[in-house]
Structure 1
Amino acid sequence: MKITEPPRSPAQRKRDVLARLERELDIWVATADGDGLPCLVALWFVWDGESVWMSTRVTNPTGRNLRDGGRTRLAFGDTQDVVLVDGDVECFDGQEGRDLPAAAAAAFVAKTGWDPIRISAAYAFFRVRPRAVQAWHGEHELRGRHVMRDGVWAV
């Protein structure tokens, strides 16, 4: 790839990240179990302006890892437009005594057309609150790629 564009400003990178969170349907979800065995899957998601909401079965490795580990790394698939989100996870599976916010479930169904809770009680929703976000287009944008640190937008 030949670099012909100047690096984006931090403010533009944040705008681009927020736009992707709004428009994309799938996001890569990286987790690990207690022994460190990694797992990587793509899941549908919705962004509510503060958190990413996803759903999967709590009986599969990703669901267990999200529930038990409490952390994840999320990524979009395009290597020429990298977005990495490190976040803290909360599980809403009916077992933890936390009620799934109706607005989050409705937004997920509206975006994806799929209601996992109607399919099976084995599905849970997971809220990922971003703690760190990085965004870059190639090597020339590695400097300044951190647009969020410690849960606070840098711009």
Structure 2
Amino acid sequence: MEITERPQRSREQRRSDVLGRLERETDIWVASADTEGLPCLVALWFVWDGEAVWLATRPANPTGRNLRENGRTRLAFGDTRDVVLIDGVVETYDARGVPPAAAEAFREKTGWDPRADRAAYAFFRVRPRAVQAWCEQHELPKRHLMRDGIWLV
């Protein structure tokens, strides 16, 4: 199989591409770790509100515990030829405390309202602190689009 190199995108184009994916994608990979460093990686539905990624999962499962206890996560999209990594800080909300606009946006995008589920679910707001994006090796040198919560472009 021949691999062809895509034209290099500007940082501005990469930021636009990342924001587009946050709007249109339904699933995102969520990496977390417990207090002893045992990693956990799952795909979850999400919604982007323009400032943060909102996730929902059961608070007692490993991902829910890790997000709540550590307050940090790495989110990822895609395949190895179109990578987006988002490092973020996490705030936890129970079904009664989640901002109604966030829960409703989650319901509208996914078709599922965790607040109405018989099982207990928590919502997790992930505020990006760092964002990297690249397609193939030639975009690696300028992959950092956000640092310390501030867009570089």
Give the TM-score normalised by structure 1: 0.94
Matched with 2:97 is 99
Matched with 1:22 is 23
- In the alignment, the residues of structure 2 paired with residue 81 and residue 15 of structure 1 have an alpha-carbon distance, to the nearest angstrom, of 14
Residue 119 in structure 1 maps to residue 87 in structure 2: no
Matched with 1:136 is 134
- In the alignment, the residues of structure 2 paired with residue 27 and residue 122 of structure 1 have an alpha-carbon distance, to the nearest angstrom, of 21
Matched with 1:68 is 69
- In the alignment, the residues of structure 1 paired with residue 100 and residue 30 of structure 2 have an alpha-carbon distance, to the nearest angstrom, of 23
Dislocated runs of 4+, deviation >3 Å: none
Matched with 1:12 is 13
- In the alignment, the residues of structure 2 paired with residue 120 and residue 134 of structure 1 have an alpha-carbon distance, to the nearest angstrom, of 37
Offset at 1:16?
0.2
Q: Report Cα offsets for 1:35-94 as digits up to 9, x if no partner.
A: 100000000000000000000000100000000010000001322110000000000026
Residue identity opposite 1:2 in structure 2:
T
Listed as ranges, the gaps of 5+ residues in structure 1 are none
- In the alignment, the residues of structure 2 paired with residue 79 and residue 26 of structure 1 have an alpha-carbon distance, to the nearest angstrom, of 16
Q: For the aligned residues, what is the CA RMSD?
A: 1.2
Residue identity opposite 1:11 in structure 2:
E
Q: Report Cα offsets for 1:99-121 as digits up to 9, x if no partner.
A: 21111000000000001111135
Residue identity opposite 1:52 in structure 2:
V
Match of 2:97, SS?
coil
Percent identity between the two aligned chains: 70
Give the TM-score normalised by structure 2: 0.95
Matched with 1:58 is 59
Residue 2 in structure 1 maps to residue 4 in structure 2: yes
- In the alignment, the residues of structure 2 paired with residue 127 and residue 91 of structure 1 have an alpha-carbon distance, to the nearest angstrom, of 7
Match of 2:67, SS?
helix
Matched with 1:32 is 33
- In the alignment, the residues of structure 1 paired with residue 72 and residue 48 of structure 2 have an alpha-carbon distance, to the nearest angstrom, of 17
- In the alignment, the residues of structure 1 paired with residue 81 and residue 137 of structure 2 have an alpha-carbon distance, to the nearest angstrom, of 10
Greater Cα shift, 135-144 or 112-121: 112-121
